[in-house]
Structure 1
Amino acid sequence: MDASKRRFFSAGLSVPGARPPWAVAESLFSERCDRCDACIRACGPGILKAGSGGFPVIDFSTTGCTLCGDCVQACTRGALLGDDAGEPFIWRAHIDPACLTQRGVECRLCAERCEADAIRFRPRLGGIARPELDTDRCNGCGQCIATCPVDAITTQSKKEAA
């Protein structure tokens, strides 16, 4: 499926189980979240939206998560636990073969936006440098997803990314 169709069918989310950062397990999340929209209103970057059933989901179509924790502070029901609970997201970035560098086009936008330095470009003899993703450094923030001009960056679970 091409990137434009994938984006249409996923409503721009690109994230499996697209819950806010530091969300509890899905079964607990749906019990604890009362869909009050406090986390959505608190989200400075505006990436949290009301999704299916009114539950908050992430939309990385314009920007990524700054991991500021404002959504966690706004949640009074324990659906979001904060950075004391571990990693903010259960996914990692994944660079698809649709990446412009695979077509011989110089592009490094994803690495420029990656504050975790999880994406690096190493020079290649006789060709364009291609991205290398360090999944141990990736925090799943989605900055790279938002900036990719060809939607070549998606997410996958940490287990798949390892």
Structure 2
Amino acid sequence: MPAAASISRRQLLKGRAQPKPFEPRPPGVDPISVASCTGCGECLEVCPERILALRDLRVVLLPEMGECIFCGKCAEVCPEPVFSESRLMAHLVDISGDCLARAGITCMTCRDACPEAAISMRPRIGGPFLPVLDPELCNGCGACVAPCPSQAITAIPREYSDEG
């Protein structure tokens, strides 16, 4: 069995359910408000970037398909209380170990694609610069996800501090 297997033989035989992978949502949608989504699909039809989809009759964002431009059209047409007034994303991105720069290959695609300058490059001795994400600047738009040549960037839940 490969060392990188996501399920052990014991888990397979016992039939333990694996947790569902994280699914990013459009701006203003959080894990609680998405329960109001009826799956009507009106938001999918008006999205100019075509980056929304339905999974289990709930709206999800597909950052691998392109960048959210925060136009708000999805919220305007939604007949249910799915979208809050806050147009923040409940997620940000994470750069995994599959990043080409971490493998010694010079790449700055994510930095160049980020409209918020949330990704900077940290110099290192003996190798290409490494990407560093500033979670305070990342708005979760996903502009860096699709252009990544190694598919090393994924959406993860945003962790909020108890302060302020």
Assess same fold via TM > 0.5: yes
Match of 1:144, SS state, is coil
Q: Does 1:135 align with 2:135?
A: yes
Give the counterpart letter for 1:20 in structure 2. Answer: P
Q: Note the aligned Cα RMSD (angstroms).
A: 2.1
Match of 1:145, SS state, is coil
Could you tell me whether the CA contact under 8 Å between 2:23 and 2:61 is conserved in 1? no
The size of the alignment, in residue pairs, is 142
Give 1:40 shift. Answer: 0.7
Q: Flag the 1:27–1:124 CA change in 2: closer, same or farther, 3 A.
A: closer
Could you tell me whether the CA contact under 8 Å between 1:62 and 1:147 is conserved in 2? no
Q: C-alpha separation between the residues in 2 aligned to 1:56 and 1:39?
A: 8
Which position in structure 1 is the counterpart of 2:49? 45
Give 1:109 shift. Answer: 0.8
Q: C-alpha separation between the residues in 2 aligned to 1:132 and 1:18?
A: 21
Give the counterpart letter for 2:38 in structure 1. Answer: D
Q: Does 1:26 align with 2:31?
A: yes
Q: Flag the 1:27–1:126 CA change in 2: closer, same or farther, 3 A.
A: closer
Q: Does 1:36 align with 2:64?
A: no
TM-score by length of 1: 0.78
Q: Flag the 1:148–1:80 CA change in 2: closer, same or farther, 3 A.
A: same
Identity %: 31
Give 1:67 shift. Answer: 1.3
Alignment of 1:108-147 (within 5 A): 108-147=108-147
Could you tell me whether the CA contact under 8 Å between 1:144 and 1:153 is conserved in 2? yes
Aligned residue among 44, 48, 68 for 1:65: 68
Match of 1:112, SS state, is helix
Q: C-alpha separation between the residues in 1 aligned to 2:31 and 2:95?
A: 26
Give 1:63 shift. Answer: 0.9
Give ranges in structure 1 of 5+ residues lacking alignment: 3-14
Could you tell me whether the CA contact under 8 Å between 1:48 and 1:57 is conserved in 2? yes
Match of 1:61, SS state, is helix
Report which of the two structures shows the higher radius of gyration computed on alpha carbons.
Answer: 2
Could you tell me whether the CA contact under 8 Å between 1:110 and 1:119 is conserved in 2? yes
Could you tell me whether the CA contact under 8 Å between 2:33 and 2:81 is conserved in 1? no
TM-score by length of 2: 0.77
Give the counterpart letter for 1:79 in structure 2. Answer: V
